[in-house]
Chain A
Amino acid sequence: MADYYILSQKRNGEDTVEELLKNSENAKSYRKDDVIFTYKDNFKRGGEKIMEYSHVSMVQSLSNSDFNFFDENNNVIKKVEKGKMYITGSLPKRSGLQVGDKFTLKIGEINMQFEFAGSLKDALFGSEMIGNPRMLVSEEDFKIIANDDYVKQYYSGGVYYIETDDLYKLQSETADAENVYFAIDNETVKFTYFMNMLIAVIILIVSIGLIVVSFAVLRFTIGFTIAEEFREIGVMKAVGLKNNSIRLLYLAKYFCIAFVGAVVGYFLNIPFGKMLIKSVSENMVLENQNSAVIGVLCCIAVVLVILFFSWNSTGKIKKLSPIDAVRSGQTGERFHKKSILHLGKTRLNSTAFLAINDVLSQPKQFSVITAIFTICTVFVMVLSVTANTLSSKNLISVMSITESDVYYPDTQRAMEIMTGAKTERETEKEIADILAQNNMPGTVYMEANYKFPVTVNGRKYNMDFIKCRDTNTTDYTYTEGSPPMYENEIALSEAMAEKMDIEIGDTLTINIDGKESDFIMTATFQTFLSTGYIGRLHQTLEIPDHLIIGMMSYQINFDDDPDEKTIAARVEKLKDIFQSENIYGTQEYIDNVTGVSDTIKSVRDLVLLISLIVIILIAILMERSFISKEKAEIALMKAIGLKNGAIMVQHTGRFLISVILAQIIAAALCVPLLKLLIDPVFSSLGATAGIEYQFNALEQFAIYPLIITATVAVSVFLTAVYLRTIKASDTANIE
């Protein structure tokens, strides 16, 4: 990796960036990968596109680069055979490309056949956030493409890897370079993997949460077990064993159990760890390093924790006396809490009364159970809200676009504008005409992206801008100030304003097409675009089309103001007309731009699954332990004529009270936890003023709680079936 990266396109075969770097005092050294700019329509099989992506892609040769590229198995790719092509990120998987699939690359006069060699892990362009796929071909194939005159003229460029001791000065110095697609430093490259890291962090947090839950259950189980063995402990004391000797006996017992568990866990950890790492490292090179050493250390840690719990729990042994062995644990102490409820005064059904009374009489035990259920529920709720928010219309404002009926990211037309083949208006008219011909007339507009050198307080920046000719700056949301009303006014994202250290009312100088003009900052806004660093220009500001370096998408508003169902049908129709899968309604478009809502949904489902497993284990373990502890009471209830079913319902009812209470607490904690855990995530992405979360009450407060409640109820009820084995006549045998 280097300190700074610039992706630029040659203009009429000339490369201004290279000239600038050659003469730069701040670029200690640099190297360049020659690339050829392509877009999705260049790659076809049988006349059909093979991939769908929104931005420009780059083809380059492996031997032309000093950069390390990795295959899916994290091996460095050392050679690309002639006729083969590697493609970055998850694009091949999304497009259904299989190794060995053949397709053609048609650009200029070039029409070459390629075979897909596999997915490529590329630290610079591999993240979903960058969105520019890189394709690796052999040196031989690259030369054939690069030597085409048309390609040389319009589609060639380079990726520069620059080493510098003064990043800030280098950024200022290269700010004037023309035809730069993007220029980013190493920290920003790392940031582009934020979402991948986020998912890894979520899995880590959830795993830690579940480990805590497991230890809590373990602690209680050990505690229960020892409490149940009061008689054995009493007898041991009666025959003269010392407290520490008895504690050591229990420690030895739990050491054996923990040791066996640790050995089994160590071997299970290998495939499980690989599965987890694979789930978060599709685009990253993550290795299970030192797994043997770490695995053994973790196993030792688990054994030590279990031994600590055992030692801690066996502290009660000191309190037990030989008398306990002969008095059935009744020490005569008046330790029991008075009943709060009274059967004679209640209007509750007797089974419900007994369940509630048990919960109130054993608050410590049921509080722990409730806390565990709360943790499991709240994790699922928070992830569910996050996933919904990431694909909700609420994000429109932070995408810095206005809401429209249809969104059509079309890189081919964008390239035509950028190469000067067509103007923005011409491409918009083309699309509008096609719409009219197909009886769905509408207006077409786009948010154009620009990159201009900016000077503020003597400092230079190469900054991204966005502008739409057909909307008003008043159509967008701002966090502070007033929308730009004149062409010399500008709004800056909060992150950009902070970076430049300027405030509303300050002036900045922007060099547009060689002409420097002053602009007054009138407002700030929050945005996910350009990792939060961008400015919005006034709609009336005239900027030549050839300075456009990209676009969000063509936005379409139908004239007849159709309902959502009609829009959805038209989206499908437009996919056929434009032969593109990249046509979306608002929600799908946001889903596509954020790119992680599906992954978050997968994580949510995984967390739900893990939570359900934990819940089932806890329910079974705790209920089994309750049955064992309450054997005498169960036998008594049966003896006096209570039916099995009523006792099972009472036992299930106790857990139901806990789980329902947990759902209420989780619902109350959901918003504070979103603010605490997820707000910083959105803030890092550019939504610095917070975000309006998208709640789906049915999903978050009905479906998931119902799933969890039903799982608890079924698990406990089925476990409670065991109490049928306790007979009324056991009252004679239970001491």
Chain B
Amino acid sequence: MNTVLEVKDLCKTYIVNKRQNNVMRNVSFSVNEGEMVGIMGPSGSGKSTLLYTVSGMDKITAGEVFFSGNNMSALRQNELAKIRLEDMGFIFQQMYMMKNLSVLDNIILPAVKSSKKKESNRNIERRGRELMKRLGIAEIADNDINEVSGGQLQRACICRSMINDPKIIFADEPTGSLNRTSSEEVMDELEKLNANGTTMMIVTHDVKVAARCSRVLFIVDGNIKGEYNTDSEKNTRDRERRLNNWLMEMGW
């Protein structure tokens, strides 16, 4: 299997009031094509920082990050922006959307901006509507973002992350703001995406979400303390239970 993301000795340090705060310490791991990797850890352990640094949204202090063979730390801001636009998708805990655009326009904005595929705006709109239909939110296409529920909005965010057929989707607590039913619906959609070949990296606190991932990395104080492979268990309940046990062993 091809490696989509390779992280070598990643370090991230913040200087606050002349005090050095090492958030990531020599983190190394890789993500293969088609994988769904969960990142777990206590609050402040560096989960989100890891996600943002490996996706090129934030600069790394040391180490190397390779995405599809490109050394991300060697790229300029505009080159990183192009990669994020065309090859990566993002889902955030807060359902960020442009407030002056309709739900559909928010979804298709990355495609309109992208030069990856030479297609008309009408075609992009058609693709956007198809995606929304797939995720069961076709009826809210022309609504404003204030007119839809949190679950619908998060599914719209998933549509937006998919619109440019990315190689990988980064999700930071995608179900953090949702109730249990909505969470499960959203995770069902992400699982379907993954089943169709989209690589995923998901930061979560939720064992139920992590249990759906093929691999879970547990981070403590900026280090990967352990790695758990969930693929051996087919039964969902068993996967959750075993993962829970492993997490407890890790000090969760």
Spell out A's residues near B (CB within 8 Å).
Answer: 328, 330, 333-339, 342-347, 350, 354, 357-358, 361-362, 632-633, 635-646, 727-729, 731-732, 734-735
Chain B residue contacts of A636, Cβ below 8 A? 92, 96-98
Cα separation A582 to B122 with both chains bound (whole Å): 72
Besides the known contacts A339-B102, A344-B125, A732-B52, 14 further A-B residue pairs in the complex with CB atoms under 8 A apart: A333-B146, A339-B105, A342-B104, A342-B105, A343-B121, A361-B99, A361-B100, A638-B57, A639-B57, A641-B82, A641-B83, A641-B113, A641-B114, A731-B57
Within 8 A of A (CB), among B90-131: 90, 92, 94, 96-102, 104-105, 108-110, 112-114, 121-122, 124-125, 128
Q: A633-B98, A633-B99 are in contact. Are A728 and B52 (CB under 8 A)?
A: yes
Specify the chain A residue showing the minimal Cβ separation from B113. A350
Cα separation A336 to B101 with both chains bound (whole Å): 11
Interface residue B160 (Cβ < 8 Å from any Cβ of A):
yes
Cα separation A334 to B48 with both chains bound (whole Å): 32
Interface residue B77 (Cβ < 8 Å from any Cβ of A):
yes
28 A–B pairs (Cβ distance < 8 Å), ordered by A: A336-B144, A336-B146, A343-B101, A343-B109, A343-B112, A344-B105, A344-B122, A345-B122, A345-B125, A350-B113, A361-B99, A632-B94, A633-B96, A636-B97, A636-B98, A638-B57, A639-B84, A639-B96, A640-B109, A641-B88, A641-B113, A643-B77, A643-B81, A727-B58, A728-B57, A729-B52, A732-B172, A734-B94
User: Could you tell me if A358 and B100 are in contact, using CB atoms closer than 8 angstroms?
Assistant: yes
Interface residue B86 (Cβ < 8 Å from any Cβ of A):
yes
Cα separation A334 to B145 with both chains bound (whole Å): 10
Within 8 A of A (CB), among B35-77: 48, 52-53, 56-58, 77
Specify the chain B residue showing the minimal Cβ separation from A735. B94
What distance in Å separates the Cβ of B89 from its nearest Cβ neighbour in chain A?
8
User: Could you tell me if B112 and A357 are in contact, using CB atoms closer than 8 angstroms?
Assistant: no
**Of B83, B121, B160, which one neighbours A346 at CB under 8 angstroms?**
B121
User: Could you tell me if B58 and A639 are in contact, using CB atoms closer than 8 angstroms?
Assistant: no
**Of A632, A640, A646, which one neighbours B84 at CB under 8 angstroms?**
A640
Interface residue B196 (Cβ < 8 Å from any Cβ of A):
no
Cα separation A338 to B90 with both chains bound (whole Å): 26
Residue among B53, B81, B84, B124 with most chain A CB within 10 A: B81
Interface residue B78 (Cβ < 8 Å from any Cβ of A):
yes
Chain A residue contacts of B101, Cβ below 8 A? 339, 343, 357
Chain B residue contacts of A358, Cβ below 8 A? 100
- For B133-170 the 0/1 string (1 means CB < 8 A from A) is 00000000010111100000000000010000000000
User: Could you tell me if A642 and B125 are in contact, using CB atoms closer than 8 angstroms?
Assistant: no
User: Could you tell me if B57 and A642 are in contact, using CB atoms closer than 8 angstroms?
Assistant: no
User: Could you tell me if B146 and A344 are in contact, using CB atoms closer than 8 angstroms?
Assistant: no
Cα separation A643 to B75 with both chains bound (whole Å): 14
User: Could you tell me if A642 and B85 are in contact, using CB atoms closer than 8 angstroms?
Assistant: yes
Chain B residue contacts of A345, Cβ below 8 A? 121-122, 125
What distance in Å separates the Cβ of A26 from its nearest Cβ neighbour in chain B?
77
**Of B78, B125, B146, which one neighbours A643 at CB under 8 angstroms?**
B78
Chain A residue contacts of B48, Cβ below 8 A? 732
Residue among A633, A635, A642, A728 with most chain B CB within 10 A: A728
Cα separation A640 to B57 with both chains bound (whole Å): 10
**Of B82, B92, B99, B145, which one neighbours A731 at CB under 8 angstroms?**
B92
User: Could you tell me if A641 and B110 are in contact, using CB atoms closer than 8 angstroms?
Assistant: yes
Chain A residue contacts of B83, Cβ below 8 A? 641
Specify the chain B residue showing the minimal Cβ separation from A642. B113
**Of B52, B102, B110, B145, which one neighbours A640 at CB under 8 angstroms?**
B110
Q: A336-B99, A339-B105, A640-B109 are in contact. Are A344 and B92 (CB under 8 A)?
A: no
Spell out B's residues near A (CB within 8 Å).
Answer: 48, 52-53, 56-58, 77-78, 81-86, 88, 90, 92, 94, 96-102, 104-105, 108-110, 112-114, 121-122, 124-125, 128, 142, 144-147, 160, 172
Chain B residue contacts of A729, Cβ below 8 A? 52-53, 57-58
What distance in Å separates the Cβ of B222 from its nearest Cβ neighbour in chain A?
16
Q: A640-B84, A640-B109 are in contact. Are A632 and B52 (CB under 8 A)?
A: no
Chain A residue contacts of B86, Cβ below 8 A? 641
Chain A residue contacts of B142, Cβ below 8 A? 342
Cα separation A334 to B160 with both chains bound (whole Å): 23
Specify the chain A residue showing the minimal Cβ separation from B84. A641
Instruction: Give me the 3 closest cross-chain CB pairs, A-B, nearest first.
Output: A641-B85, A344-B125, A728-B57
Specify the chain B residue showing the minimal Cβ separation from A637. B98
Chain B residue contacts of A637, Cβ below 8 A? 98
User: Could you tell me if B104 and A344 are in contact, using CB atoms closer than 8 angstroms?
Assistant: yes
What distance in Å separates the Cβ of A451 from its nearest Cβ neighbour in chain B?
72
**Of B58, B94, B100, which one neighbours A728 at CB under 8 angstroms?**
B58
Chain A residue contacts of B124, Cβ below 8 A? 344
Cα separation A734 to B57 with both chains bound (whole Å): 14
User: Could you tell me if A727 and B57 are in contact, using CB atoms closer than 8 angstroms?
Assistant: yes
User: Could you tell me if B144 and A339 are in contact, using CB atoms closer than 8 angstroms?
Assistant: yes
Chain A residue contacts of B92, Cβ below 8 A? 636, 639, 731-732
Chain A residue contacts of B110, Cβ below 8 A? 640-641
Cα separation A728 to B54 with both chains bound (whole Å): 12
Chain A residue contacts of B160, Cβ below 8 A? 640
Chain B residue contacts of A343, Cβ below 8 A? 101, 104-105, 108-109, 112, 121, 125
Specify the chain B residue showing the minimal Cβ separation from A644. B77
Q: A335-B146, A342-B102 are in contact. Are A728 and B109 (CB under 8 A)?
A: no
What distance in Å separates the Cβ of B8 from its nearest Cβ neighbour in chain A?
20
What distance in Å separates the Cβ of B153 from its nearest Cβ neighbour in chain A?
11
Chain A residue contacts of B122, Cβ below 8 A? 344-345
Chain A residue contacts of B97, Cβ below 8 A? 636
Chain B residue contacts of A333, Cβ below 8 A? 146
Residue among A338, A343, A346 with most chain B CB within 10 A: A343
What distance in Å separates the Cβ of B174 from its nearest Cβ neighbour in chain A?
13
Cα separation A280 to B103 with both chains bound (whole Å): 59
User: Could you tell me if A350 and B109 are in contact, using CB atoms closer than 8 angstroms?
Assistant: yes
User: Could you tell me if A639 and B90 are in contact, using CB atoms closer than 8 angstroms?
Assistant: yes
User: Could you tell me if A646 and B113 are in contact, using CB atoms closer than 8 angstroms?
Assistant: yes
Specify the chain A residue showing the minimal Cβ separation from B121. A344
Chain A residue contacts of B172, Cβ below 8 A? 731-732
Residue among A635, A642, A644 with most chain B CB within 10 A: A642
Specify the chain A residue showing the minimal Cβ separation from B90. A639
Chain B residue contacts of A639, Cβ below 8 A? 57, 84, 90, 92, 96
Cα separation A682 to B241 with both chains bound (whole Å): 92
Cα separation A333 to B144 with both chains bound (whole Å): 12
User: Could you tell me if A344 and B94 are in contact, using CB atoms closer than 8 angstroms?
Assistant: no
Chain A residue contacts of B121, Cβ below 8 A? 343-347
Cα separation A637 to B108 with both chains bound (whole Å): 13
User: Could you tell me if B113 and A344 are in contact, using CB atoms closer than 8 angstroms?
Assistant: no
Cα separation A338 to B145 with both chains bound (whole Å): 10
Chain A residue contacts of B88, Cβ below 8 A? 641
